[in-house]
Amino acid sequence: MPDDTLDEPPYTIDRGDGPLVAAALHDAHAVRPEIRDLLALSDAERRREEDPFTAPWTEVGDHRIVARRSRFEVDQNRPRDGAVYLEPEQAWGLEVWRRRPPDALVARSLSIWDRFHAEVGALFVDLAARYGRFVVFDLHSYNQRRGGPEAEPDDPRENPEVNLGTGSLDRERWEPVVERFLAELRRFDFLGRRLDVRENVRFLGGDLARWAHGAFPGSACVLAIEWKKFFMDEWTGEPFPRVTAEIRRALAAAAAGVREELARTAERGSAAAGGRAAAAAGP
């Protein structure tokens, strides 16, 4: 069997206390040696479609989920049958492979997907039992200069600085949490200005959200948060440290607001339950 191990595990799940999870599924760049040998893409081409610098932002969560392998090895935000990109249409038209990977290699990548979802599922079961409701900040980024390194940024009217994807969310049920998140980011003083934060303009959310909302209806609220890559040069891969640090502070403010909103929801639920119990007991 080829060497399919790396020193770093394929993902990390760090548990804490509280109802807020932060996940970075596409920050990583590492791939197994057997995959690296078959890739047609350069490191720069792969990195341009990954989400660098998003993993440190997960520090705003009570629990952290970070994928440590590139999405070009296995994509934890795609359904299982599309988690390994085999065709160009699965990867923005890119020819990922020099030749089609053997089935055994694909199976080894999918075994990582299986373990990841089993362990994340176990975390979510625990959070649902402990808190009733929990929120996931699913952190991503997207390119704004696909025309080339000298191109003008894509039209800002169609490309907000922050796109909140809620396409698979029961929006009515979770409206207080969603609106609080949007309000906190919009009011945040971001280096002397306000962020352009909009909902479902470019992205509706990925498979982590769809899966969690289906598996944990009523308990899971996954907010798919896509930051336009104004915090880095997407062609050289260089970050703008002041901006990346400010994004973390903005997310921390939004996290504090969401925690407060969850606490209010829990209090309202307890009060309602107490009222029903008193009515049932009668005079």
Q: Does the residue 267 lie in any domain?
A: yes
- Mark out the alpha helices in the chain (DSSP H runs): 33-36, 43-49, 103-131, 175-187, 207-215, 241-281
Domain carrying residue 83: 11-281
Q: Does the residue 5 lie in any domain?
A: no
Rg, C-alpha atoms of the chain: 20
Q: Does the residue 273 lie in any domain?
A: yes
Q: Does the residue 34 lie in any domain?
A: yes
- Dihedral of CA 250/262/18/67: which sign? negative
Strand partners, 39: 97
Q: Does the residue 90 lie in any domain?
A: yes
Number of domains in the chain: 1
List CB contacts of 157: < 8 A, sequence separation 6 or more: none
Q: What's the pTM value of the predicted model, to 2 decimals?
A: 0.92
Cβ-contact 113, 80 below 8 angstroms: yes
Distance CA 24, CA 135 (A): 14
Q: Does the residue 104 lie in any domain?
A: yes
Q: What is the CATH number of the domain that holds 178?
A: 3.40.630.40
| Pairing mode of beta strands 220-228, 162-165 | antiparallel
Q: Pick from 271, 276, 15: which is nearest to 134 by CA?
A: 15
Q: Does the residue 3 lie in any domain?
A: no
List CB contacts of 189: < 8 A, sequence separation 6 or more: none
Q: Does the residue 1 lie in any domain?
A: no
Q: Tens-of-pLDDT digits for all 283 residues of the chain?
A: 333 456 779 999 999 999 999 999 999 999 999 999 999 999 999 999 999 999 999 999 999 999 999 999 999 999 999 999 999 999 999 999 999 999 999 999 999 999 999 999 999 999 999 999 999 999 999 999 999 999 999 999 999 999 999 999 999 999 999 999 999 999 999 999 999 999 999 999 999 999 999 999 999 999 999 999 999 999 999 999 999 999 999 999 999 999 999 999 776 654 444 344 444 455 4
